[in-house]
Amino acid sequence: MGIRATAVVCLALVAPALIVTGCASAEDTSVAGTAERFLSAAGEGRGGEACLLLAPRAARSLDDCEKQIVSAGLRAGAVRGVDVWGDEARVRVDGDTLFLHRFPDGWRVRAAGCESRPDQSHTGQPYECEVET
Amino acid sequence: MKRLVRENALALCFLLLFLVTLAGQSVAGAAAFNEEQVAEGGSPVTWAHYVTSSSFAVDVAENWQSEYLQFFLYILITAWLIQRGSPESKKRGEEGLESDAEQKVGPHAGPGSPAWAAAPGWRRTVFSHSLGIVMGLLFLLSWLAQSVAGLAAYNNEQLAQLEDPVDWVGYVTSPDFWNRTLQNWQSEFLAVASMVLLAIFLRERGSPQSKKVGDPHSETASTG
C-alpha cells in the first residue's frame, strides 16, 4: 500500500472519530449552557426566563411556574460533568443535578434540583427532583 | 440482463425482501419511538432522525447478530454432527473435515477449483474455513454493534427516567443486553432444530432444502 493510500485509509478511520468527538463536545457545551442559564435565572429571581428554559410538561407541573421556580432553592454552580445520550442529557453542577431533553428548538430542562437516592446503584432508582415532568 | 436476474434470482429476492422489511421496520419503529417520546414528555422526531438513532441501530443489530450466529454455528456444527433422516445432515461416517480427495483440495483440486483450494499452506486452510470465518466475523461485528448502539439507547432511556447512565462494561453485563441477545438466540436455535427435525418427516416438493417427496423418512442427506 502506497503512502497516499495509507493516508486515505487513516483519514477514513480517524475522521468519523473526530466528527463524533467534535459533535459531542459542541453538544456538551450547548447542554451545559442551557443548564447554567436556567440555574442563573432561577437563582437570581428571573422566573419567566427560567420557565422558558423548562420542558413544557415540567413547566405545566408547577401551578405558578414563575413564582415556584424561584422559590425552589435552585442556585448556579460550577459544571462538574455533562453526559449526553441521544436526545437526553444529565448535567451535574455543584449542589445540583439537572436532566435535559432536546426539543426541535433546543435543549430544555425536564428535571432540576435532583439528588440521587442514598441507595441508588443502577437498580432502577431514579433521582429525586424538586422540579420534574 | 434478464439472464443475469434469473441466474441470481434467489439472492436478489432475499435482498429485496431485506430492504422492504428494513424500510417497514424503520417506519413502524419510528412510530413506536415517537409514542414513547410523547408519553415521556418529549417531542416526536422525524423518520430521518430515528433511522440514525441508537434505538433503531440496536434493534437492527440485535437481529443481525443472531442470524449470523445461527448460520455460523450451523455451518460449523453440521460438519461434525449428523441427524439421521435429515436432508440438512451429512450421512453417518462422513462426520468431520473429510479427506483432501473428497474436498478436492491440494493435489486433488480440479481445473475449475478456486486458486486457494489448490494452494499450499495457510491460504488453503483459510479458504477451507472462509465461510465459517466470515460468518463468525459478521456475527462478532454485529454483536459489537449491538453492544455499542445498545449502550447509547439504554443510557438515553436511563436519562429519560432520571437515572444514571452506565459504561460499556456495565451495559454488556446488564439484563437489558442479555435479554436482547438471548431472546434472539433462543428463537434462532428453535428454528434450526425445527428445520432439522421436521425435514425428516415433511416435504416441500421441488425445494433443495427438502428431501424428494417419495424419499423414505430414514434417508439422510438427500435433497429434492
Whether residue A5 is predicted with pLDDT greater than 90 in this model: the reply is no
**Alpha-carbon gap: B155 to the closest alpha carbon of chain A (Å):** 6
Residues of A in contact with B166 (CB under 8 A): 122
Query: What is the structure's pLDDT at B224?
Result: 64
Query: What is the structure's pLDDT at A119?
Result: 65
Phi-psi region of A2 (alpha: psi -120 to 50; beta: other; left: phi over 0): beta
Domain A3-132 sits in CATH at: 3.10.450
Model pTM greater than 0.80? Answer: yes
- Pick from B42, B45, B165: CB nearest A85: B165
* Ranges of H-type helices in A1-133: 3-43, 47-52, 56-60, 65-70
Residue B50: closest CA among chain A residues belongs to which residue? A86
Name, in order, each residue with C-beta under 8 angstroms of B6's C-beta and a sequence gap of 6 or more.
none
Q: Check B159 against A99: CB less than 8 A apart.
A: yes
Residues of B in contact with A120 (CB under 8 A): 163-164
Q: Give the mean pLDDT of B7-35.
A: 98
Percent of chain B with pLDDT over 90: 96
Whether residue A28 is predicted with pLDDT greater than 80 in this model: the reply is yes
SS3 assignment, position A111: strand
A-B contacts (CB, under 8 Å): 64
Measuring CA to CA, which residue among B176, B223, B171, B220 is closest to residue B200? B220
Whether residue B221 is predicted with pLDDT greater than 90 in this model: the reply is no
**Alpha-carbon gap: A92 to the closest alpha carbon of chain B (Å):** 11
Percent of chain A with pLDDT over 70: 77
**Alpha-carbon gap: B168 to the closest alpha carbon of chain A (Å):** 13
The three-point CA angle A107-A109-A115 to 5° equals 135
Whether residue B205 is predicted with pLDDT greater than 90 in this model: the reply is yes
- Nine-digit cell at A83? 453526559
Query: What is the structure's pLDDT at A132?
Result: 85
Measuring CA to CA, which residue among B42, B214, B33 is closest to residue A87? B42
User: Is some CB atom of chain A closer than 8 A to the CB atom of B34?
Assistant: no
User: Is some CB atom of chain A closer than 8 A to the CB atom of B216?
Assistant: no
Residues of B in contact with A122 (CB under 8 A): 163-164, 166, 170
Cβ atoms B86, B218 nearer than 8 A: no
Pairing assessment for the beta strands A106-115 and A128-132 based on DSSP bridges: antiparallel
pLDDT category at A133 given cuts 50, 70, 90 is: confident
B172 versus A24: the higher-pLDDT residue is: B172
Query: What is the structure's pLDDT at B122?
Result: 97
SS3 assignment, position A89: strand
Q: What is the pLDDT of residues A85-116, one digit of tens each?
A: 999 999 999 989 999 999 999 999 999 999 99
Looking up cell 419511538, which residue turns up? B33
Residues of A in contact with B163 (CB under 8 A): 120, 122, 124-127
Whether residue B130 is predicted with pLDDT greater than 50 in this model: the reply is yes
Whether residue A56 is predicted with pLDDT greater than 90 in this model: the reply is yes
Distance CA B84, CA B98 (A): 18
The three-point CA angle A12-A16-A22 to 5° equals 140
Measuring CA to CA, which residue among B202, B208, B180, B196 is closest to residue B77? B196
Phi-psi region of B221 (alpha: psi -120 to 50; beta: other; left: phi over 0): left
Residues of B in contact with A27 (CB under 8 A): none
User: Is some CB atom of chain A closer than 8 A to the CB atom of B38?
Assistant: no
Cβ atoms B174, B166 nearer than 8 A: yes
Q: What is the pLDDT of residues A31-44, one digit of tens each?
A: 999 999 999 999 99
Whether residue A6 is predicted with pLDDT greater than 60 in this model: the reply is no
